[in-house]
Amino acid sequence: MVDVSAGPQTSDKGLRAGTLGLLSSTVIGVASTAPGYSLAAVLGLVAAVVGLQSPVIMLLAFVPMLFIAAAYYYMDRADPDCGTAFAWVTRAMGPWAGWMGGWAIIVADIIVMANLAQIAGKYSFLLINAQGLAENTFAVTTLGVLFIAAMTWICYVGIEASARTQYFLLGAEIVTLVLFAVVALVRVYFGDPEGAITPQWSWLNPFAISDSGALAEGVLLAVFIYWGWDSTVTVNEETRDSTITPGKAAILSTVVLLGIYVIVTIAAQAFGGVDQLVENSDDVLSVLGTEVLGSPLDKLLIIAVLTSAAASTQTTILPTARTSLSMAAWKAAPARWAAIHPRYLTPSQSTIWMGILSVAWYVGLTIVSEDILFDSIAALGLMIAFYYGLTGYACAIYYRHELTRSAKNLLFMGVAPVLGGLILTWAFVQSCIDLLDPENSESGSSWLGVGPPFVIGIGFLLFGVVLMLIQWRVSPEFFRRKLVVAGDPVRGPAITKELD
């Protein structure tokens, strides 16, 4: 008999253990990517670059994500630490690289929160036909801040509340996207909408893109709309069977996203044609929604984007709070961030500070210039490529003594993670080159002779180096940690058995 008087089980950091299952974890991973918003914001841009080959771009962008998801799967089996990339890179590549990986996660999440809050605020007004308020910066910002506050509170009161909220938000989003895709394709095949194109298998042929530069740019645009699935692993210490379930959920999340992105892209392109996607690149779904579903059902697409942004706002707080919690537990960040709420068993201080910093960043950028807000989003890709790539390399390094034991180990612990890391390293370098040009920024302005997104992205990484050096002086113990390989007797369930 279980002794209920002992209270809930907790992880070594004090989080509520065994709360989430495979479905809950997968829902968090898919919701974190904000598929509705991501498609609305990126699909038109991809179409402008590669034309009819947009569906295959979604497929190609999935490849490095799947490879990195494999790295997350195997690293979580070795060490289900909620710090994920921070903890794993520290073990495999050393504390300096690990600290920077953790910093990149925190910065990426804070940057994207501003954009998600902006979308949530704007689309709330569009939903009630308040066009004037949707274009009012003060009104949108105020409502966006309220969204951040509400989602911070939900994350503060417990992982169960967060998971239940995600079921509703993601469910509404996926149902709407599926409805849009089905109705659009039915009308294309059995009706005659103006500008419609019958879907072709050639849309899935990558060799139809003759311009290698266009191929690279298209993949760069699409690869980052998959970002966020790793939230499934950051709640690993609160998941049942923490060494298996989070990794499975990460891989399943990427597969679900692939299906959503490819199907909706085919449907949107078939119904509206490439030109319409390009002309409405700022918000493809709201324009097509009116034509595909008609009034008042077109409001469903607005709801899809709204719930997408709201869900992602919440699931962005989760990984940031847990990354900073892990860093504090490892003495790589201020000790107060390791505080756990005695009742809710959540990282209370980390969660609150995530909300505060997100609001400060959002309001500050909005006051200075909305163009800079969008420029900061362009810099987001650098952070994502940086810590995803590090994790891929860390997996192969950590398991280097296991790779020759079987073909499976070599492929999934070594080859796939390294290939994913190399692809994302290329994406990082290519993004830096593109962002150097001020013309590739939203504002078109020049900071220090280069584009603002480049300054923001690289500036944050350099600022991280400064903070890391300060932390080294304050708490040098963390930076003395030794490298670890699979099988070493370290804190946490390091793998000591054959994985086949």
- Calpha distance 413→407 (Å, rounded): 10
pLDDT reported for residue 496: 33
Give residue 205's region: left, alpha or beta (phi > 0; psi -120 to 50). beta
Q: Is residue 312 predicted with pLDDT exceeding 90?
A: no
Fold for 19-480, please state it: Amino acid/polyamine transporter I (1.20.1740)
Nearest Cα to 354, choosing from 376, 322, 307? 322
pLDDT reported for residue 298: 76
Q: Is residue 385 predicted with pLDDT exceeding 50?
A: yes
* 28-42, 120-134, 239-253, 474-488: which is most confident: 239-253
- Calpha distance 146→395 (Å, rounded): 39
pLDDT reported for residue 96: 97
Least confident segment among 174-178, 309-313, 468-472, 490-494: 490-494
- pLDDT tier at 413, thresholds 50, 70, 90: very high
* DSSP secondary structure letters along 406-471: -HHHIIIIIIHHHHHHHHHHHHHHHHHHHHHSGGGSSS---BTTB-HHHHHHHHHHHHHHHHHHHH
- pLDDT tier at 178, thresholds 50, 70, 90: very high
pTM of the model as a whole: 0.89
Q: Is residue 296 predicted with pLDDT exceeding 60?
A: yes
The per-residue pLDDT of the chain, averaged, comes to 87
pLDDT reported for residue 142: 95
Cis peptide before 493 (omega within 30 of 0): no
Q: Is residue 1 predicted with pLDDT exceeding 50?
A: no
Handedness of CA 44, 48, 54, 59 (dihedral sign): negative
% residues pLDDT > 90 (the chain): 48
**Residues 359-367: what's their mean pLDDT?**
89
pLDDT reported for residue 453: 86
**Residues 466-471: what's their mean pLDDT?**
96
pLDDT reported for residue 8: 64
Q: Is residue 61 predicted with pLDDT exceeding 60?
A: yes
* 108-122, 300-314, 433-447, 462-476: which is most confident: 462-476
pLDDT reported for residue 495: 36
Q: Is residue 140 predicted with pLDDT exceeding 60?
A: yes
Q: Six-digit token pair at 271?
A: 């119904």
CB atoms within 10 A of CB 426: 16
Cα of first residue to Cα of last residue in the chain, in angstroms, is 34
- Calpha distance 32→27 (Å, rounded): 8
pLDDT reported for residue 442: 66
**Residues 98-104: what's their mean pLDDT?**
96
- pLDDT tier at 304, thresholds 50, 70, 90: confident
- Calpha distance 495→344 (Å, rounded): 31
Q: Is residue 235 predicted with pLDDT exceeding 60?
A: yes
Q: Is residue 493 predicted with pLDDT exceeding 70?
A: no
Q: Six-digit token pair at 373?
A: 């807000």
pLDDT reported for residue 188: 93
Q: Is residue 392 predicted with pLDDT exceeding 60?
A: yes
pLDDT reported for residue 423: 92
**Residues 52-76: what's their mean pLDDT?**
94
- pLDDT tier at 466, thresholds 50, 70, 90: very high
CB atoms within 10 A of CB 256: 18
pLDDT reported for residue 287: 80
> Which residues fall within 8 angstroms of residue 363, CB to CB, at 6 or more apart?
141, 145
Task: Name the phi and psi angles at 450, rounded to 5.
Answer: -130, 175
% residues pLDDT > 70 (the chain): 95
- pLDDT tier at 499, thresholds 50, 70, 90: very low
